[in-house]
């Protein structure tokens, strides 16, 4: 079982049948203003009733990076399929940008292009982005991280 966490730059944790995913390796970055573009929400239903249910911009915007690995955890199973729903948006100003979500299946602390769940570009408010994925059969078991990133004026690929 894997666990996943989220961050805005949000990190979440996934726990894959003996693997946990959680979010965010960055300690700096993210929005510099609470009025900037932000990830508005992330949901992911996992195994045994576990769920990531993140809502951003609840008390204004978010500045910096959010590390949600202690509170947003979901269990997933190797070779099983899931969908992560991400609402890229804004806590105030509507500025074009790009967004992406990754899961660090090999737990090497690097979110590689091969671990991307999907991308988004546009100007918020935007439609919900649904990223369907299957947990790789060879995903390492234990705690794994998920990153969700939105970059104002950003272009793909994000890093």
Question: How do residues 145-157 score in pLDDT, each as one tens digit?
Answer: 898 888 878 888 8
Residue 33's Cα: distance from chain center in Å? 20
Could you report the per-residue pLDDT of 45-86, keeping only the tens digit for each? 999 999 999 887 765 666 667 778 888 889 999 999 999 999
- Omega cis (within 30) before 109: no
Q: What SS3 class is residue 32?
A: coil
What predicted TM-score, i.e. pTM, was given to this entire model? Answer: 0.81
Task: Decide if pLDDT at 120 tops 90.
Answer: yes
Return the pLDDT at 64: 63
Give the contacts of 114 (CB within 8 A, at least 6 positions apart).
none
- Tell me, what DSSP letter sits at residue 140? P
Span 85-107, mean pLDDT? 87
CA-closest candidate to residue 153, choices 104, 71, 98: 98
- H/E stretch holding 38 reads strand 37-45
């Amino acid at each position: 079982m894997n666990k996943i966490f989220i961050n805005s730059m949000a990190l979440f944790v996934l726990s894959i049948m003996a693997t946990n995913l959680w979010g965010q390796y960055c300690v700096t970055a993210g929005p510099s203003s609470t009025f900037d573009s932000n990830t508005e929400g992330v949901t992911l239903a996992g195994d045994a009733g576990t769920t990531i249910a993140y809502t951003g911009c609840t008390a204004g915007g978010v500045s910096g990076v959010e590390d949600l690995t202690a509170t947003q955890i979901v269990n997933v199973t190797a070779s099983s399929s899931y969908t992560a729903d991400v609402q890229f948006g804004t806590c105030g100003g509507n500025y074009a940008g790009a967004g992406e979500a990754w899961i660090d299946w090999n737990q090497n602390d690097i979110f590689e292009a091969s671990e991307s769940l999907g991308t988004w570009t546009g100007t918020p408010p935007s439609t919900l982005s649904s990223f369907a994925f299957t947990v790789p059969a060879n995903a390492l078991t234990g705690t794994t991280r998920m990153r969700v990133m939105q970059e104002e004026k950003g272009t793909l690929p994000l890093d």
